[in-house]
Structure 1
Amino acid sequence: MTSIILLSVLGIVNLFFGFLKSNKILLPAAMVILALVFGVNLIDWNADAQSYFNNMLTIDRYSVAFTGIVVLTTLLLIPFSEKYVRDGQENLAEYYSLLLFSLVGAIMMVSYDNLLMLFVGIEILSVSMYVVAGSDKRNVRSNEAALKYFLMGSFATGILLFGIALVYGATGTFQLTQINAGIVNPANASLQPMLYIGMLLMFIGISFKVSAAPFHYWTPDVYEGTPTFFTAFMSTVVKTAGFAGFFKLLMAAFFAAKGFWVPTIMAITILTLLIGNVGAVAQTSIKRMLAYSSISHAGYLFIGLVAVNGKLSANAIFFYSLAYSIATVAAFAVLKLVSDQRQREDYASFNGLAKTNPLLAFVMTVAMLSLAGIPLTGGFFGKFFTFGAAIDRGYIGLVVFAVVMSMVSIYYYLRPIIAMYMQPAEDETVAPIQVSGFQSAVLVLLALLTVLLGVLPGLFSEVFK
């Protein structure tokens, strides 16, 4: 709860920095705020679970763990907005504050115990994303991305809210544990059709937020049109919060009806894996490839939901979210640095990068290998733990299909690596990509964290015991 209060108050304080004539204080101020929130959140790790707002919000180890991921991800991403500071970006204070406010929504999504609090959290997060998607007002693609995201997101929100209303009508409560009790209550047997329809509508609404197929159609265009810095935030923080909230919903509220929803979630999983990986193969833009990559990784995270394996699934989703977020931040950070100076986002823009900037090439290589699930990276153990949770429940066929899709993903993840190390630069006279010392340090940290998760996965693989 302290994290929510700090982000809300300091987000407002950060807005007043916008009155300054210089943007130079905004970046360090945002990082100090995030570091403070991250530290305060860790303090709650050993504290007893606390409920707020008449048990609508609960701060426990589950919420603290996933709050740590979203805050750490934002903290590692913020340094790559340095170009906005140098260029005197208008409204930069407002954009930073929107990110802080969106984290409030993300924390609500991982801490809720009431469907109304889930809805409020999703809306706080979503509205912020609608604004930052169109932050590059002079860019037609950015305007298109914001409009498409807003319109489709509004429909998804309406569907989600309708589903919540039907679930309430069938069970008579918004409280997660009481919903689960209402499902098994014989007195509510006649209302099961209403309950099942409500559950399906809620699944549709949340699946849209996490870019799961077949509700993914907005993702490639919105990711491509949104400024790369904010795309990275969408691809990591929004997805982590979405899956943490989704898992809590299934385990705490709908567990008694798993015989109904497990086949549904499995169908979404298979479709998401197929569309995400096959779609990524056909892309010529690295940014669109990363958009389809985000879709495919939603499929791998869905395997953890299908497993319904209690703490084993919770640990798998936590580890996967952490490894995925770190690798994705690294990939988008390199892409942003390259695209800002070369004004391109295709594979050819990475040609010869290993020769002109070995650090960027190395970090991008580590990120791609982790996203592909290659051993000695965090991504490998993320998939290993997720697949293990599913195998423990007997979903062998699903895991085999996921492994085949992982093999497909190696093709498109290796393409940037081949371009960087095996293709000559198109123009030898092009100046090397400029990277500040601070950004270089953060890039090295991202690569080290990815390798650390792959070498010592036990440090984070059993946070929920």
Structure 2
Amino acid sequence: MNIIITITVTALVVLYAGLFKAKKALLTITLIGLLTALAFVVTSWNTSQTYYGMMQMDNFALAFSGITILGTLFIFLLTQNYFAADSENTAEYFTLILFALAGIIIMLSYQNMSMLFIGVEIMSVSLYILAGIRKSNFASNEASLKYFLMGAFSTGFLLFGITLIYGATGSFDLTVINQYLVSNYKTISPMFYPGVILLIIGLSFKIGAAPFHFWVPDVYEGSPTLITTFMSTIVKTAGFAAFIRLFADAFAPLHDFWLPPLLVIVCLTLFIGNVTALFQKNFKRMLAYSSISHAGYLLFSLVALTSSSSNNALVYAAAYTFASIIAFAVLILVKQKTGNDHFDSFNGLAKRNPLTALVLTVAMLSLAGIPLTAGFIGKYLMFLNVMNEYQTYLVAFAILNALVGFYYYFKVIVAMYFKEGAELQLETPIQYKVVLVLSLAITLFLGVYPAVILNLI
């Protein structure tokens, strides 16, 4: 609870600092608040606490909270030179991201499904505004409208599913629901089954899994790049953690029922995400379709429920989060200099800025799943998790899709090292260097020593 209170108070302080024109203090206040919240994560480790049966701050919630808070801290560091000198929305940007993070922490630690709904809504409402915060930008307005309409639509599925589960069990509590399934395995209410399907649909919308992914490319492309970074990494990680807490915990006794529709979603997500990314000429849009494909890999943790499912998802989420932050950070720098985010903008980047090109190369290799990177370990654990329980056809299908991914990830590497570009000097601000170097260190360290976080949960 201290984590949520800290983040919320920080958001309010930042908002009031903006009112009093203390623009230079906004980032400092925010970083102090996030570091304090991160300290609470560390000091709360192995001390599972339940708050009035509504939230449970256990090691699962703390581990994912640590990743989301650290990722958000890195994203805030990317705000250096991001806003115009006369921008009046900086405090609002910071405050809304912090409120979204507070909703995310609720999503990670809910014990009662009503808190899941509250967390999703706090996060979503903040993101609707953030997506369209550039009021004079048509693409930003379009992204906000699409995100709002699709988000409201998916929330309807989620809420209806929760209602049916409550009607069948008489409770919103995950433990009570699990006990109901165990003790009434042969006499489960007919309302329960459509409730589970509706929850799968609602959560699949939130994480951008196919065939409920159609909002992702346009929203990611139209939103400000900083907000796209947050949605693609922190928000997606939170959605998966909420998915895992509900299905791997409360709904585990019905695994045989919800596995077939989940397998369909996994296969569609991998195929559509990877194949569509092949044809993209826009780096930002390619990353959007890439995030869809990674949603499929993350769902592997639910295909076979084992004692290591949560840990495997944590490793993959960490690998994906920090590699994607690198990619978007470099994209922000390139777009500020060239004015567009096509692959051609990266031509000759290795000559202009060798460090940035090297870090982006490692990030692309990690997202592709090349050995000695965190992305390889994440994919390996996901595939191993499925092979222990199921036939290898699913793993073979996923590996073929991963091979497709090599092509579009290597497009940007080829552009940086083997194509001639304009002689533009790409300057890397100090805060960007900090984010790039730390993210690179995490990506390589987890690729070599994954055991550091592999057994956390």
| Alignment-derived partner of residue 122 in structure 2 | 124
Q: How does 1:320-331 map to 2 (within 5 A)?
A: 320-331=316-327
Q: What's the offset of the Cα at 1:185?
A: 3.9
Which residue is equivalent to 1:31?
31
* Separation (CA, whole Å) in 1 of partners of 2:137 and 2:83: 19
Partner of 1:9: 9
* Structure 1 outlier segments of 4+, above 4 Å: none
Q: What's the CA shift string for 1:352-410, capped at 9, x where partnerless?
A: 00001111111110110000000010000011111111111124211111111110100
Other-structure match for 1:435: 428
Counterpart amino acid of residue 50 in structure 2: S
Greater CA drift, 113-122 or 27-36: 27-36
Superposed CA deviations along residues 334-354 of structure 1, whole A, max 9, x for unmatched, are 001111221111000000000
Q: Are 1:227 and 2:227 counterparts?
A: no
Aligned amino acid, residue 354 of structure 2: P
Aligned to 2:195: 198
In structure 2, the residue corresponding to 1:460 is in which secondary structure?
helix
Of the candidates 378, 386, 389, which is equivalent to residue 385 of structure 2? 389
Q: Provide the residue aligned with 1:367 in structure 2.
A: 363
- Partner of residue 401, structure 1: 397
Of 155, 164, 168, 1:170 maps to 168
Q: Please say if residues 115 and 175 of structure 1, whose CA atoms lie closer than 8 Å, have aligned partners that are also in contact.
A: yes
Quickly say closer, same or farther: Cα 1:180–1:190, change in 2 above 3 A: closer
Deviation digits for residues 404-440 of structure 1, max 9, x if unmatched?
1110100000000000000000x33xx3112112321
Counterpart Cα distance in 2 of 1:202 and 1:103: 22
CA distance in 1, matches of 2:292, 2:222: 17
Residues 181, 188 of structure 2: 8 Å contact kept: no
Calculate percent identity across the aligned residue pairs: 48
Q: Is the 8 A contact 1:27 1:82 kept in 2?
A: no
1:129-170 Cα deviation digits (max 9, x unpaired):
111000111110000000000011001001110011011111
TM-score by length of 1: 0.96
Distance of 1:439 and 1:28 partners within structure 2: 16
| C-alpha distance in structure 1 between counterparts of 2:431 and 2:171, whole Å | 50
Q: Partners of 1:111 and 1:190 in 2: how far apart?
A: 27
Q: Who is 1:92 aligned against?
A: 90
Q: CA deviation at 1:21?
A: 3.3
Of residues 26-35 and 243-252 in structure 1, the stretch that sits farther from structure 2 once superposed is 26-35
Q: Would you say 1:51 and 2:50 are equivalent positions?
A: yes
In 2, Cα distance between equivalents of 1:341 and 1:364: 17
Q: CA deviation at 1:190?
A: 6.1
Partner of 1:61: 59
Report if the CA contact (8 A) 1:23-1:88 is conserved: no
Equivalent residue for 1:18?
18
| Contact 2:80–2:431 (8 Å) recurs in 1 | no
**For structure 2, which runs of at least 5 residues remain unmatched after alignment?**
none
* TM-aligned CA deviation for residue 39 of structure 1: 1.2
TM-score in terms of structure 2 length: 0.98
**Number of matched pairs:** 457
What is the aligned partner in structure 1 of residue 153 from structure 2? Answer: 155
CA distance 1:8–1:393, change in 2 (3 Å): same
Question: 2:305 is matched by which residue type in structure 1?
Answer: V
SS at match of 1:83: coil
Other-structure match for 1:137 = 135
8 Å contact kept, 1:273–1:296 = yes
Q: Distance in 1 between matches of 2:99 and 2:7?
A: 7
Of the candidates 312, 321, 326, which is equivalent to residue 316 of structure 1?
312
Instruction: State the distance in 1 between where 2:338 and 2:290 align.
Output: 23
Distance in 2 between the 1:269 and 1:442 partners? 32
Letter in 2 for 1:51: T
Residue pair 2:78, 2:431 contacting (<8 A) in 1 also: no
SS of the residue aligned with 1:435? Answer: coil
* Match in the other structure for 2:446: 453
Answer whether contact 1:182 1:188 (CA < 8 A) is retained: no
Residue 105 of structure 2, aligned match among 104, 107, 118: 107
Residue 181 of structure 1, CA deviation:
2.0
1:420 — aligned with what? 416
* Aligned-partner Cα distance in 2 for 1:177–1:293: 35
- For residue 89 of structure 1, report the CA deviation from its aligned partner: 2.1
SS in structure 1 of the partner of residue 56 of structure 2: strand
What's 1:286 paired with?
283
Q: Is the 8 A contact 1:171 1:188 kept in 2?
A: no
What amino acid maps onto 1:219 in structure 2? V
Q: Could you tell which deviates more after superposition, 434-443 or 108-117?
A: 434-443
Q: Over the residues paired in the alignment, what is the CA RMSD in angstroms?
A: 1.3
1:444 aligns with 2:442: no
The Cα of 1:22 is off from its aligned counterpart by 5.1
Q: Which of 376, 382, 406 does residue 380 from structure 1 map onto?
A: 376
Q: Is the 8 A contact 2:108 2:241 kept in 1?
A: yes
Is residue 269–residue 292 contact of structure 2 (8 Å, CA) maintained in 1? Answer: yes
Distance 1:421 1:260 in 2: 49
Q: 1:233 to 1:32 in 2, by over 3 A?
A: same
CA distance in structure 2 between the aligned counterparts of 1:442 and 1:126, rounded to whole angstroms: 26
Moved more, 32-41 or 137-146: 32-41
CA distance in 1, matches of 2:263, 2:141: 35
Q: 1:265-308 deviations in whole A, cap 9, x for unaligned?
A: 11110110000100100111000000000000000000111111
